[in-house]
Structure 1
Amino acid sequence: MKKVLFLSALIVIITLVGCSNNSNTASTGNNPAGTKDSAGAGSGPDTSDKADAADKAGNADKGDNADKGDNRELIVAGQEIAASLDPVKPLTSSYLRNIGAAEALFKVDAGGKVQPELAESAAEVDPTTWEIELRPEARFWSGKAIDADAVIASLERSKSLDLQAKPFLEELTFAKKDDYTLQVKTKRSHMQVPLNLSYYQTVIHNAEAKHDAIGTMDLTGMYKVVEFSPKQKMILALNENYWGKKPVIQRVVYEEISDEQTRVLSVLSGRSQVALNIGTTSLAQFRDSKEAKISATPAANTQTIYLNLGKPQFEDVRVRQALSWALNREELVILAAEGESIPVSTWLGSNPAFAEAKNAVYIKFDPDKAAELLDEAGWALGSEGIRYKDGKPLTLRLMTWGGDKALGEALQNQWTSVGVKAEVQHGDYSLIQTARESGDWDASIEAWSTFGDELTLLTGQYAPEGSANYGGFNDAETNQLLARLAEESDGAARNKLALQINERVAGQAPVISLFPRPQITAVSGKLHGFQDHFRQFENTVNANLTLDSK
């Protein structure tokens, strides 16, 4: 759902991206940064009371709940909010879905199961054909019907204009069977079409509307955007014509507060009811708090260093492998994640379905192995502790953003110990995007989600034209394995091929995998119905939320 995002300053996730909140995000995936499906373990709150409150909210009507609490306004503080209102712009769809303004045909629940959202049902007709029944009662904010024509137009617009949507849509062909039935043809057999159409990059929007202003944008969610200041504040009001269960809370304020400590203070003081992207260094402030508790749900993503293979120092695979062997991942988890994660040495290692990949390839911290590889590659250690080749030092400039400053500094120290002249450039995610466009970068960090269809995810990361293949990885053996995966329909065989691709990539080291990014949210004790979710970056607001009286 990667980058992520998914990607710098206020809300989720990046993903990744992913965004790689992104993802990135980015996370973010990715959200690059946005894709911030991170795995933040830790002492989460006791959710039994919240579950009871959610049940009560689900069985009570709007008036009853409004009388019992102050449900006029929910304030959510995030590290970053959208710079645009158009769902096809980077990470915008993640922020809109997260806050209850946008929906897709399907949604993944907290248990990892794909559930219908704007779709009513879905069925696989034959190995390469699915039919999706739409909800005839669903409407856009404008009142326009969400019929087959509208859905196809939306998905085709996302496919052509949103690079993050391409991995989920490019193998699908959409056709209208009747007004409320969508036929989906797939390029390969037994694709998980509902899963592909659950990602936030596939949110349904009115493709005929202009999405450059609040007065013309047209989405489907339970809340409508009524005020927007890019990267500052988004205010949403109840959509009175919402097709589904109407929320109790009447208005949502989504604020960008880039400074983490300010976000922490906002929820501890009661000014906001939800604060997103809480760093591990702030956990101690919530241990004895009666005002707010921490939600830290493990997520399937991998904090990843992407290397620019166009840089001369990274052309030799031995240098890239050395950079990975030189890392003490257990120490990184402690220094950069306060112990709220687990080390992984390959990208798929954070996905529970591929647990055996967690410690594959780079089975231990081995600086001696790293030194040996660098010697073989011709990088000799100089008297001042830096390695040189042909009179030039072995340099690495690592770009970080959001909460990854401490991680960058820890990586710098570990690489320096094996003779790499490493430096860290910390700033806004936009700096990373600009550097990638110009080619002027060595390495950057994002955390894309590893949850989903194996081919879609691995193609997006490692195929030559993959949207998250930032470093330009193009490996013949990996490409052949991806082609075999595309033709394989047997589940066990697909799993085996995915593991082979994962191991091959780790061995070639165009990326370096570290640990799942912690995903930590602070929630007011006065807010009930909040649901912990492994994709929290797109699941903050739900219809069951209620607030106690102030």
Structure 2
Amino acid sequence: MTEHDRRQALLRLSALLAAGAALVLPQARAHDGPLSEHAAVAPASRDTLTVVGPWELTGLEPSRGGYMFTRMEVTQTLLDADDQGRLLPAVASAWEVSNDGLEWRFFVAQGRLFHDGSPVTAGTVLASLKRAAAAPGVLRLARIRSMAVSRGAILVTLAQPYAPLPFLFTHSGTQILAPSSYGTDGRVLRIVGSGPYQITSISLPQQFEVAFFERWRGEPPAVRRARYISVSRAETRTLMVQSGQADLAFSLDPPSIRRLQGRREVRLVAAPLPRTTFLKLNAGHPLLNDVRVRRAVSLALDRPGIARALLRDDDLGAGQLFPPAMALWHQPALAPLRGDPAAARALLRQAGFVPGADGIVRRDGRRFEVNLTTFVDRPELPLIATAVQEELRQVGIAVKVVVGNSSDIPAGHRSGALQIGLVARNFGSLPDPVATLADDYGVEGGDWGAMGWHSAPLTDALVRLSNGGVPAGSAQAATLRADIARELQQGLPVIPVVWYRQTMAVSRRVAGASIDPFERSYRISALTWKAA
């Protein structure tokens, strides 16, 4: 097959996929429960804002479903961040660090109330933070020796300096809950937060409703009531916003976006996010442990073609791991990853693989056949997986696409069973990605990062950025970030495919909608109603 034929085949495949053909979704998510595409949903009422997205409420624990409660502005964290990733006060009004970097003080804002009317105090904040520190989550990234109340502040003492510590306290897993949230056994029984909205009803795993907390000290919002509904199918979310059953619809797939373009009743808002879709390779697997093989996989990919056919935007083809949205980390001088199937085949031959009669390469009698695992939480992932499957087949690698749930990726990492995973990694889960990268690419790798691969220079660079000895805005820090990007580009423990642009559909009855690049909030308190 010529290069022209190969590209035409990809475009035909992508067109079929975009139309919804040749794709089987997992049985676990085959319907939307009471909100399936065949079910009737009440139109959004005049005074209630309806938000729909694919994310189910998997529980009340902050480490599991907490992100939904921060997005709907029910709960708060110790600190917040602006669109540029700069820290902002939240439950803490100010913070400071000792000269040796081992003691941090976070001063709790005075006069705030939880939704049950109880005061937000340093003691109640400390209880939530200690609970978060004891559970699996971001606070384990820092070596916290102790947390205590000191002069109305939370005193955090570290075993060693850790500059990204304040950013850990922006994560939804560290949200602050009132004592009345917990049962006698310590489990979270209800969500009693301190944000502008309080929960009025909740039905796991499908939806919850909120109303403005009248004793909120901030500016009263125009939107006084709102609800979030989990709807797994992108086309159903599209129909809901188009028909007036929803006001904000998130995580739309490309066919849905095309369907809504030019519609008078809906407005589309888009923004680049610090998120990259990539292939996570098990570098310890016998077929994938040779860097030449991983480079061959990378060379097999026509990233602009995939981005054009499936995302309708050539610029989203990922030439490196860090997208332009990560201004401090994106490296314009780094030679971009490219597609070259002939070079991919040559590398496979160098690694000892020879073509079989069926076109699939073999080495020592073993056919190069691997599983690619992905999930439906991001509606574009199964489409991209099938396009990648075709691209790799063209260079002699047989791929079986397995579409499951997002939990399959970390489970496969921990068990060692994962071969290739297609994931969308959010580098903005913390406003400063150093902690995320250290978790993903440390000595042991991470659930969403390296598997069976380690780079001593990369680890050293991350340690130096983490220990506070290198100012974040310095030339030295920029050099370390460039070193990290280069190590990842050379070793390819993960292979970038496309970058990400979040598109939100907004009903014409609301104004002021914007996208949080760190996906911390739906910003419903900033919305206003348009006149009928």
The TM-score, its normalising length taken from structure 2, stands at 0.82
1:4-403 equivalences under 5 Å are 72-89=47-64, 92-128=65-101, 129-167=103-141, 169-170=142-143, 174-179=147-152, 181-185=153-157, 191-206=163-178, 209-210=181-182, 216-339=190-313, 341-354=315-328, 357=331, 360=334, 362-402=336-376, 403=379
AA partner of residue 78 (structure 2): L
Q: CA deviation at 1:285?
A: 2.0
Identity of aligned residues (%): 23
Q: Does 1:489 align with 2:466?
A: no
Q: How many correspondences in the alignment?
A: 477
Distance 1:172 1:120, change over 3 A: farther
Question: Does residue 453 of structure 1 match 2:432?
Answer: yes
- Alignment check: 8 A CA contact 1:190 1:489 kept: no
Three-state SS of the structure 2 residue aligned to 1:88 is helix
Task: Work out whether residues 412 and 422 of structure 1, in 8 Å CA contact, stay in contact via their aligned partners in 2.
Answer: yes
The answer as to whether partners of 1:233 and 1:253 remain within 8 angstroms in 2 is: yes
Equivalent residues of 1:395, 1:420 under 8 A apart: yes
Q: What CA distance in whole angstroms lies between the structure 2 residues aligned with 1:268 and 1:165? A: 41
* Residue 417, structure 1, aligned to residue 394, structure 2: yes
Q: Specify the SS of the correspondent of 2:422.
A: strand
Distance in 2 of aligned mates of 1:210 and 1:472? 40
Question: Partner of 1:166: helix, strand, or coil?
Answer: helix
Q: Matches of 1:240 and 1:210 in 2, distance apart?
A: 23
CA contact (8 A) 1:249 1:546 kept: yes
**SS of residue matched to 1:252:** strand
The counterpart of 1:480, out of the listed 442, 450, 460, is: 460
Q: Which residue of 2 aligns with 1:29?
A: none
Change (3 A) 1:433 1:480: closer
CA distances 1:290-336 after superposition (whole Å, capped 9, x unpaired): 11111101112211211123422122222112111221111121123
Structure 1 portions without partners, runs of 5+? 1-68
Q: In the alignment, what sits opposite 1:524?
A: 507
Matched, 1:544 2:508: no
Give the letter for the 1:409 counterpart.
T
- SS at 1:419's partner residue? coil
When structure 1 is superposed on structure 2, of 274-283 and 304-313 the one drifting more is 304-313
* C-alpha displacement of 1:362: 4.7
Are residues 1:441 and 2:418 paired? yes
CA distance in 1, matches of 2:332, 2:424: 16
Deviation, 1:215, is 5.9
Deviates more, 1:193-202 or 1:408-417: 193-202
Check whether the contact 1:335–1:407 (CA below 8 A) recurs between aligned residues.
Answer: no
Q: 2: distance between equivalents of 1:529 and 1:151?
A: 32
Counterparts of 2:370 and 2:319 in 1: how far apart (Å)? Answer: 20
Task: Give the superposition deviation at 1:190.
Answer: 7.7
Matched to 2:442, the amino acid is: A
Structure 2 distance, partners of 1:359, 1:227, is: 52
Shift of residue 361 of structure 1? 5.0
Is residue 534 from structure 1 mapped to residue 517 from structure 2 by the alignment?
yes
Does the aligned pair in 2 maintain the 1:308–1:442 contact within 8 Å?
yes
Deviates more, 1:129-138 or 1:340-349: 340-349
Tell me how far apart the structure 2 counterparts of residues 325 and 176 of structure 1 sit (CA, whole Å): 55
Deviation at 1:411, TM superposition (A): 0.8
2:137 alignment partner AA = L
TM-score (norm 1): 0.79
Following the alignment from structure 1 to structure 2, what is the Cα–Cα distance between the partners of residues 229 and 252? 14
* RMSD of aligned Cα (Å): 2.8
Greater C-alpha Rg:
2
Q: 1:172 to 1:207 in 2, by over 3 A?
A: farther
Q: Would the alpha carbon gap of residues 396 and 500 (structure 1) be closer, same or farther in structure 2, given more than 3 Å must change?
A: same
Q: 1:226 and 1:434, CA in 2 relative to 1: closer, same or farther beyond 3 A?
A: farther
Comparing both chains, which one has the higher relative contact order based on Cα–Cα distances under 8 Å and sequence gaps of 6 or more?
1
Tell me the amino acid that sits aligned with residue 311 of structure 1.
Answer: H
Q: Deviations over 1:437-496 (max 9, x none)?
A: 543321122222334435313202100344533624333343333334344423321221
